[in-house]
Structure 1
Amino acid sequence: MFSAVDVIRAKRDGARLTDEQVDWVVDAYTRGAVADEQMAALAMAILLNGMTTAETVRWTEAMVASGEVLDLRVDRPTVDKHSTGGVGDKITLPLAPLVAACGAAVPQLSGRGLGHTGGTLDKLESIPGWRARLTTDEITRQLADVGAVVCAATEGLAPADRKLYALRDVTGTVESIPLIASSIMSKKIAEGASALVLDVKVGSGAFMKTAADARALAEAMVGIGSARGVRVSALLTDMSVPLGRAVGNAVEVAESVEVLRGGGPPDVVELTVALAREMLSLAGLSDVDPAAVLASGAAYEVWARMIRAQGGDPDAALPEPRHVHVVPAPATGVLTGLDALGVGVAAWRLGAGRARKEDSVQAAAGVLCLAKPGDRVVAGEPLLELHTDTAEAVEGALAALEGAVEVGDSAAARGSLVLDVVRAG
């Protein structure tokens, strides 16, 4: 028989938790037999003392075992993608239909935004009629018929993670790499995809601010996947500047459609194609060129079918904001900096994001970046557009943007968005 206090003390003193201790404490917490304050103490001990790879793998397996495991196998290889979150990170929207158009099946169970990072479901819900909640049968049927589904996770997936995530959020233990890795991977393993590509963001607008922390997280998640027999690789990608020009909900959907129609910002296209190539490689379809498929318009056709399958109208007008505030360029020259965190917080304060999970969001809220680093700007000319339904939110958004814009004589050429790749072995 185990006791929560003994498990807490073991980790507090730097010991490796046994498989039996991990299984017991995760199950007992899920059932309510371990109190929140006890799990909070254990989470803090894990944050301070870490976990071995074996512990992290076992912790992940225990969270998977706390709920159902989906069987989403269809007649084509399945491959999923997960992003650790960023600003303007709408990549799932063009990526899922693109990879499906290349011959794979993409079961993309996504989440909602919290803080300055946007949520895929919030963005898609700006499309009239679109619904996020599907049954397992609906998910499987859509995967077989369309090849792609983006929806909310079912309630039965990894309930231990859902409970622990909420606790970590209010106890200062969110930053623990073993707990982040097991949180992400438990849900992805429970989804049943046979392959997974991770987009681990690095920079001011990302959760991981340094390349070293991002690599540590990537290696932890790839290690968990390998131990469970899931093919996993991770791309470390730059999140110092917002992705694309649109940050928000409806504005990001509009930009994603531009990409699917063969246009859109070059950085969004670059990352979409890079992630698609990695996903297709893991799915055994590396002979397919996603750039050519994207240019052909086939991905847009899958997008339209995917949206219709979930009740949405891909041709409907997207919501427009009640208020638009233009931010002018502070000087004439070359835009040398546009801080992702500042822009993300501004969009959040305008109503595009939420401070708590139960908060609502505005479909039309967000920021349009009319220039990106490297572009020439003229003092007094429009630089950013702030979109919101609540005019009083503009003041807070402007405060978030203080120091976020830099103008100089010249800007260094920006390198690839993909900073590094972590693969198993």
Structure 2
Amino acid sequence: MSEQYDAVDVIRTKRDGLPLEPGQIDWVLDAYTRGVVAEEQMSALAMAILLNGMSRPEVARWTGAMIASGERMDFSGLSRPTSDKHSTGGVGDKITLPLAPLVASFGVAVPQLSGRGLGHTGGTLDKLESIPGWRASLSNDELMAQLEDVGAVICAAGAGLAPADKKLYALRDVTGTVESVPLIASSIMSKKIAEGTGALVLDVKVGSGAFMKDLAMARELARTMVDLGTDAGVRTVALLTDMATPLGRTAGNALEVRESVEVLAGGGPADVVDLTVALAVEMLDAAGRPTPEADVRAALGDGRAMDTWRRMIAAQGGDPDAPLPVATHQRDVVADRSGVLGTLDAYAVGVAAWRLGAGRSRREDPVQAGAGVELHAKPGDLLDAGQPLLTLHTDIPERFDRALAALDGRWSLLDDDGAAPGAAGPLVLDRVG
């Protein structure tokens, strides 16, 4: 195939702060996917984009070219509207698990194509694989049949969706170009638009346990992604949500599944319930099925969402009644004095869970189903001297020391002056869309 453009010219254009032409964008992503543009050339272009940014038309064209590198799914044949959710990743973020069956219980299909964890943020597929028998890989026919029958699917994305993104994602990870808002936004949205969902709700995490530490940068990312979805004809909205403290009271695979089942049974931690409900309300509204918040909460209490969960797990070979794995070793982290828990750093908890075996350093690494961190208190709670603050879980006790090192100095106790403990800040910080 004769090449229309030259990679060096494309790099120079962006290096000099000029906008890339649509033809340059289409060519460079196609040529990179085919192996014509070398890794070092795409590395240079990614760095130029990180340093000089992209306009809205450039990001839209870049995203479209990544979509065009692979196949697109089509859910128009389903009898229900579709709505999907994407989280930018956090610690204890098990929201997809109760959310998908909850939304499906209102007649909206949820095609939740999910990923695996890397580093301190957990992966939805890793969590569900702690359920005996459950499988992540489905054929397109199985996916469509389950959406029509059950209404909810959580499974692995096929290799055919946006293959240019898969290649570029790995490159960004090793070239210091992960933090580029245009590249993050196009990476997420190329896969979500290629999925073919009719509506999309984005959960953009902000804080120490999130990729975006800064509210202004998170807002820029949310706006860029909402614009990309809207321009592609997908009804898109974003919530910016707090990730300074872990979500719920668990970080780890089977631990988070157990907590999710508690939420589906009408219990569970208030922050997990509140965020699940807030996102469900947005997903239903975006799908053209507006539902009052009270009705959504009721579906967690009356068994409707749980029934859908059980059918969803069973449809993918899982046993919803099987005992979940439990780590063979536990160690408590206790309060050295009485006081009010002031802070508990989400990133530190995520790193501790990862070091205990709940996460992986490389994509091919195995994970421990039972490993992780259990929280016995959240900021604002009173603690007595000697009371457990955290319980660490692992099958390999030699991992405790490194996990404890990650937590050292990353939580604080305030003197109890007799005043009522301070309330936690708002969970939803902003809405874009």
Query: TM-score per shorter chain, which class?
Result: over 0.9
Query: Equivalents in 2 of 1:276, 1:409: separation in Å?
Result: 39
User: Which among 400, 407, 432 is matched to residue 422 of structure 1?
Assistant: 432
SS at match of 2:404: helix
SS at match of 1:363: coil
User: Which among 233, 239, 244 is matched to residue 235 of structure 1?
Assistant: 239
Query: Equivalents in 2 of 1:231, 1:330: separation in Å?
Result: 50
Moved more, 308-317 or 66-75: 66-75
User: Which among 55, 60, 69 is matched to residue 58 of structure 2?
Assistant: 55
| CA deviation profile, 1:346-372 (whole Å, cap 9, x unmatched) | 000000011111111110000000111
TM-score normalised by length of structure 2: 0.97
1:205 corresponding residue in structure 2: 209
Q: Does 1:251 align with 2:255?
A: yes
1:402 corresponding residue in structure 2: 408
Query: Equivalents in 2 of 1:206, 1:382: separation in Å?
Result: 26
1:339 corresponding residue in structure 2: 345
User: For residue 17 of structure 1, what is the amino acid of its counterpart?
Assistant: L
> What pairs up with 1:20-419 in 2 under 5 angstroms?
20-73=23-76, 74-288=78-292, 289-409=295-415, 411-419=421-429
Query: Equivalents in 2 of 1:213, 1:359: separation in Å?
Result: 31
Query: Equivalents in 2 of 1:287, 1:134: separation in Å?
Result: 30
SS at match of 2:257: helix
Shift of 1:179: 0.2
| CA deviation profile, 1:11-62 (whole Å, cap 9, x unmatched) | 0000100100000000000000000000000000000000001100000000
SS at match of 2:64: helix
SS at match of 1:142: helix
Shift of 1:71: 1.0
Aligned-residue RMSD, C-alpha: 0.8
Shift of 1:84: 0.1
User: For residue 412 of structure 1, what is the amino acid of its counterpart?
Assistant: G
User: Which among 15, 22, 25 is matched to residue 18 of structure 2?
Assistant: 15
Query: Equivalents in 2 of 1:86, 1:390: separation in Å?
Result: 24
Query: Equivalents in 2 of 1:86, 1:15: separation in Å?
Result: 35
Asked whether the equivalents of residues 281 and 291 of structure 2 are also in contact (C-alpha less than 8 Å), the reply is no
SS at match of 2:267: coil
Moved more, 357-366 or 284-293: 284-293
Aligned pair count reads 423
Moved more, 208-217 or 374-383: 374-383
Query: Equivalents in 2 of 1:7, 1:389: separation in Å?
Result: 50
TM-score normalised by length of structure 1: 0.99
Asked whether the equivalents of residues 265 and 301 of structure 2 are also in contact (C-alpha less than 8 Å), the reply is yes
Shift of 1:169: 0.4
Would you identify which runs of 4 or more consecutive aligned residues in structure 1 move more than 3 Å?
none
Shift of 1:416: 2.2
SS at match of 1:127: coil
| CA deviation profile, 1:195-240 (whole Å, cap 9, x unmatched) | 0000000000000001001000000000101111110000000000
| CA deviation profile, 1:52-96 (whole Å, cap 9, x unmatched) | 011000000000000000112311110000000000000000000
| CA deviation profile, 1:162-207 (whole Å, cap 9, x unmatched) | 0000000000000000000000000000100010000000000000
| CA deviation profile, 1:318-357 (whole Å, cap 9, x unmatched) | 0010110111112201111111001000000000011111
Any stretches of 5+ residues in structure 1 without a counterpart? none
User: For residue 73 of structure 2, what is the amino acid of its counterpart?
Assistant: L
Moved more, 406-415 or 295-304: 406-415
